[in-house]
Amino acid sequence: MESQNLFQIVQKHLCSCTQELDITPRIETLLRMPMRELHVALPICMDDGSMKAFQGFRVQYNDARGPTKGGIRFHPGQTIDTVRALAALMTWKCALHNLPLGGAKGGIICNPKELSTVELEKLSRAFIRSIFPVIGPDNDIPAPDVYTNPQVMAWMMDEYSRCVMKTSFGAITGKPLAIGGSEGRLDATARGGWFAIAEAARGLGLNLDGATVAIQGFGNAGSNAASLGRSLFGCRIVAVSDSRGGIYRREGLDPAEVARHKDQSGSVTGLPGSDPIDNEELLELGVDILVPAALENVVTDRNAGHVKAKVLAELANAPVTPEADEILASQGTHVIPDILCNGGGVIVSYLEMVQNFSMDQWTEEDVHARLAARMQAACRAVEGLTRTYGTSPRRAAYTIAVKRVVEAMQTRGWL
Ligand code: NAD
């Protein structure tokens, strides 16, 4: 297969539902184009006194339904097309979950593992100084993504506040609790994902108590998915991994023990009492539920035929290529699409914004209840359309989302 970049892949998913929606080529052209892109150079004085220039991007894909929203990723493999793709996904995700928000994404080409804390802070602040004219609580609100965390969001919120000369909590989400963060934000992506998995399991007659689970990625999404899967449903987490490799234990891993080991050693690998496994093998384990929670394009036409899981829950963005999607469908694997499965993160980011705007702080129970209500509404809508038209959950999810965006564009007089 000719290699495709992530933006082309995401556009393929869009294309499959625009045919269903009978969208004119003119509208489709607009849906396929990011509304605005900012490319910035970020010169940083490194700890050794040398100067290094990093490249950063902010892509605002579509704001028809509201201010754009999306995370900031720090990764050495970042490209403008990856950021465009993730911004498009945010547009469809926010629409599917009926949030009054459009989609955006940001990224810096860097390896945060090679930066000191001082360099990381300088880079985070420099990025915000460069993009601050196009972001803000009314137009575009960043959040964490791969290799960014609440501390990075704290520096970014602080830098934005300095730029506009007033404390502006609502400009960034995923912040620590002490400075306008929300209860429930840290595990929101995983908690929302488990809500979607539980709905799918109910439909498939799969008992989650004792169900086996393999999770790729042990960061925010993956580590919380492991602990919530065990604590909420009694699942047996048999395998987890990170960028260095994975571990397997047939009787089930204790996610808290894995987290402690990772904190001490820097990786999940080498946990006493576990067997080593690589990231490829993890995807092909004979488990009930497979959760890719790291990076994109990990299930392709090469390995999809070897996936044995009954349910594949896309906690990562775009882990499955369109070709792999077809193979998985033909072998009966139930795929919960990313824009549905990992929407919990942006839902609670939205709830964080609402609390910031209203100068309020809700309890964890309150946030969980609101997250559950929104996940339930989206899951039911996708399930309804999947049944009615005999289509895949991904196509159903895209159809609902794109229809809402097109309706907003039409109502605003853009089309
Ligand atoms: P994170 O930085 O907290 O964790 C990323 C994890 O992936 C780490 O454990 C890292 O070691 C692992 N990893 C990196 N490269 C890998 C590789 N090649 N093979 C296996 N593992 C690898 O990031 P995160 O926030 O957990 O994001 C993970 C995924 O979830 C991304 O696709 C992200 O876009 C998506 N997502 C995150 C959120 C959120 O709120 N954090 C919301 C929606 C979607």
Tell whether ligand 1 has an atom less than 6 A from the beta carbon of residue 193.
no
8 A C-beta contact, residue 237 and residue 230: yes
Atom index in ligand 1 nearest the CA of residue 144 equals 41
**pTM exceeds 0.85:** yes
Q: Tell me the one-letter amino acid at 107.
A: G
Contact between 128 and 136 (Cβ < 8 Å): no
Q: Give CA angle at 343 (203, 376), nearest 5°.
A: 40
- Note if 105 is an active site residue: yes
Contact at 8 Å (CB) between 305 and 283?
no
Q: Whose CA is nearest to atom 19 of ligand 1?
A: 243
Ligand 1 contact, 279 CB (< 6 A): yes
Distance between CA 338 and CA 279 in Å, rounded?
20
What is the full per-residue pLDDT of the chain (415 aa) written as tens digits? 445 799 999 998 888 887 778 788 888 889 999 999 999 999 999 999 999 999 999 999 999 999 999 999 999 999 999 999 999 999 999 999 999 999 999 999 999 999 999 999 999 999 999 999 999 999 999 999 999 999 999 999 999 999 999 999 999 999 999 999 999 999 999 999 999 999 999 999 999 999 999 999 999 999 999 999 999 999 999 999 999 999 999 999 999 999 999 999 999 999 999 999 999 999 999 999 999 999 999 999 999 999 999 999 999 999 999 999 999 999 999 999 999 999 999 999 999 999 999 999 999 999 999 999 999 999 999 999 999 989 999 999 999 999 999 999 999 998 8
Bridge-partner residues for 394, per DSSP? Answer: none
257: helix, strand or coil: helix
**One-letter amino acid identity for 257?**
E
Q: How many helices (H) and strands (E) does the chain have?
A: 14, 12
